[in-house]
Amino acid sequence: MPTLGWEDRDAFLSLDEFGITATVTPQDGGPSRSIVGIFDDAFLNAQLGDYDLDTTQPRFLCKSEDAAGIIRADELTIDGETFDVLTSPQVDGTGFATIVMGRRHI
């Protein structure tokens, strides 16, 4: 789906505005590449039966064409921290995609 004429995704994701650089490392050992997007580590309160689980849900919003080819089990490195990609990118139809990640525990 084409983006609307008044939307400037590059300006929105600019490193001078909200954007940061992430390095994508494919699980198959292919070459790494850099993409620009917005990192969010939103609070999540999940209920497991009678128990509450307080955690976060890291995600990375980027242009959908930059997310192309990213699959589950690839890695994103942001500011020196490595995250596992949990699902295929969620394309929203506006030219953006959200990559849902899990924090890597060593």
Structure tokens at 74: 């690839």
pTM exceeds 0.95, yes or no: no
What is the C-alpha separation between 18 and 67, in angstroms, rounded? 18
Which residue has 């600019």 as its token pair?
A: 14
Which residues have CB under 8 Å from 71's CB, separation 6+?
26, 27, 85, 88
Lowest-pLDDT choice from 13-17, 37-41, 53-57: 53-57
pLDDT digits (tens, 9 = 90+) for 68-78: 999 999 999 99
Which one is predicted more confidently, 89 or 7?
A: 89
Q: Report pLDDT for 48.
A: 76
Q: Report pLDDT for 86.
A: 96
**Per-residue pLDDT at 4 exceeds 50:** no
Structure tokens at 58: 């890291």
Contact 103, 75 (CB under 8 A): no
Structure tokens at 24: 């994508």
